[in-house]
Structure 1
């Protein structure tokens, strides 16, 4: 009996450790089928999943508009404007892959742009870069947004996405800011609009149940940001799943009961 109880305790602890290890995965979007030079755009509000992450797609039938997430393999880096909103400002997805996600963070959408996980996770990293729509708007200016740097090239413009970790109770675990364009340097030759995939470390966010995305720009007006609030995302790497607090508590309680039973047997 004693050996049986010890074995059960060890088995339970091993199961808890194994459940985290088994959840390590990366959202690459490669498992999501797309025709060449196309994108996923359902005319309905829905979700799609890649790896351990779930992405929401919001659609308005009143305006035929969308926000939050789609996935794509389009790589037109020369066509400016809204008609090219699903292209990455690069020749491929991250690490020369085909597919990637595109986010549109709309100020008119009541729900924040988020990524959710079925269970709390710890994250490794994610790859981000610009969409062609946003990059060419900053590079050239358009009817809504200014050319970054201004006429002189000295305007201290910037454009960044803020990645906010959220715990299971909705509290914030941390924030990572990623600059997609930065013209604040004293030496204008250092100014840049990101055109490569940038791998960003997310481990500082700790244990999260979701990620929330907000965008900021130096170019704002009466109705908010003038710069197109789009970015591309790929290779979201999950380090490990973390048991829900209730699950962990019940599991530990089970171990405690086994230990107590073993102790009573020794005293008997």
Structure 2
């Protein structure tokens, strides 16, 4: 169209020049400018209309799904709507140069929204055009022809009529609406983001009102219920519950269990051992609904056992001691400010790094101090919350970092928790326990350590995957393993467990793996050793590190 305008203008100018030098062509160029502006306006109108149609589709899908509006931003040409799933839509506040066809949406008697033109449903191949896609079972796509389709519009250059396409622009049908007039209207008559705290209200040009929920603070948190909660048969336990923006909720439970919530406390009771019909494990499931209809499902794993199972999680909310070595009632203060050279793990005074889980599992540990200087290089178990996903940073300066990173929390601990423990040290003799880091029961009572979870550190993974100045990447036949040795209350070996942490050139543990230690029976302490096939003149080349978390202890 621009080429046509330019050609006509050139022809008129040439004609004017041939009639004489006195001709004033200013009027002509003004008309050409007006025509060019008119063309620009028509092109902008087509773009805005198609953008509004897509915005309208997104708004309807948001109403029917779980997507909410996080922000409504007002600009010179309209509004930008931002959704909770990260998408956005632009709504114009008018048309420059053309009246758009009266496109809108309407819900039919089947509860489905369809596209309309002049108040009538738009059809294609005998079917009304859906605004929202139909879902099959379990969220699968619906039947053929049930997908949502946003119509497209354009202006025919010859007829100046608006045309509409319902098949992605393959074919076009005239709407009978002439694209004329200088003050066209938007598909939207108004956007109200102020009057209601829970909803944004959109009014279409034909008076149809759409209400889309705002993103609001909405949560139902069961404190201290991450992973599986273990109960002794018949035991009852209370969990503090924090709710935000919850309108109502319901609770389901395994057969034989009881669960109720009142005054911010969830009370869970395990079935009695005599109840042979009860389920010994399952999930407490909370279905919570917000004021705007958003839903959340909160799951809490539970298991009933003939004994109590206490977990050493290294999380602050689970701390039950009387104060750590720093005098603080938490675990996080034991995470050194630097991974190497920090004041806790490398003190300048004679302060031995130590920790305990008093009043819970009663497990404890302190640095081995093999070199008499109280430093971490003398072997020990250090509390950490460091995560490092860049293998090129896998060195001694990042010795406390795990490679695992939970996609939901961003933390590195087991189950997405924050804190864990990092082991450093080994003995060349796999059968010896001399100088090895260890766990022991601080109250002197032997107990069954049911299990714990282990994973590799980034330092180790870089060594076996990439190699460093001391080691080559693992190849066929290479092996890196953890050796756990249990000692009973008489000082005799109660059991031994080996865990492969890396093997050959195609396996290295990068997630948390459960290690069952119950076969040891009752132990007073456990030692940790590490062994690698990659050895040199000065011993093992593979860094002698691994991480552990969620140590479970049986109390009978």
User: Normalized against structure 2, the TM-score is what?
Assistant: 0.35
CA distance, structure 2, for counterparts of residue 174 and residue 37 of structure 1 = 33
Q: Does 2:363 align with 1:53?
A: yes
1:124 CA drift (Å): 1.3
The answer on whether the counterparts of 2:379 and 2:436 sit within 8 Å (CA) in structure 1 is no
Q: Does 2:462 align with 1:147?
A: no
Matches within 5 A, 1:68-217: 68-78=380-390, 79-91=393-405, 92-107=412-427, 111-117=435-441, 118=443, 119-149=445-475, 155-183=476-504, 191-217=506-532
Range that drifts further, 229-238 or 62-71: 62-71
1:65 CA drift (Å): 3.4
1:26 CA drift (Å): 1.0
CA distance, structure 2, for counterparts of residue 54 and residue 37 of structure 1 = 18
1:55 CA drift (Å): 1.6
Matches within 5 A, 1:36-51: 41=345, 43=347, 44-50=351-357, 51=361
Secondary structure of the structure 2 residue equivalent to 1:159? strand
CA distance, structure 2, for counterparts of residue 197 and residue 161 of structure 1 = 14
Which residue in 2 is equivalent to 1:6? none
1:224 CA drift (Å): 1.5
1:145 CA drift (Å): 1.4
CA distance, structure 1, for counterparts of residue 451 and residue 314 of structure 2 = 15
Q: Encode CA deviations 1:159-187: one digit per residue, 9 max, x unaligned.
A: 0010011011110011111111011xxxx
Which residue in 2 is equivalent to 1:252? none
- The structure whose Rg is larger is 2
Q: Does 2:34 align with 1:34?
A: no
Secondary structure of the structure 2 residue equivalent to 1:136? helix
Secondary structure of the structure 2 residue equivalent to 1:134? helix
1:123 CA drift (Å): 1.8
CA distance, structure 2, for counterparts of residue 205 and residue 73 of structure 1 = 29
Which ranges in structure 1 are unaligned for 5 or more consecutive residues? 1-19, 150-154, 242-268
Which residue in 2 is equivalent to 1:224? 539
Q: How many residues are treated as equivalent by the alignment?
A: 210
CA distance, structure 1, for counterparts of residue 374 and residue 418 of structure 2 = 32
RMSD (Å), alpha carbons: 2.5
Closer, same or farther: CA 42–26 of 1 in aligned 2, 3 Å = farther
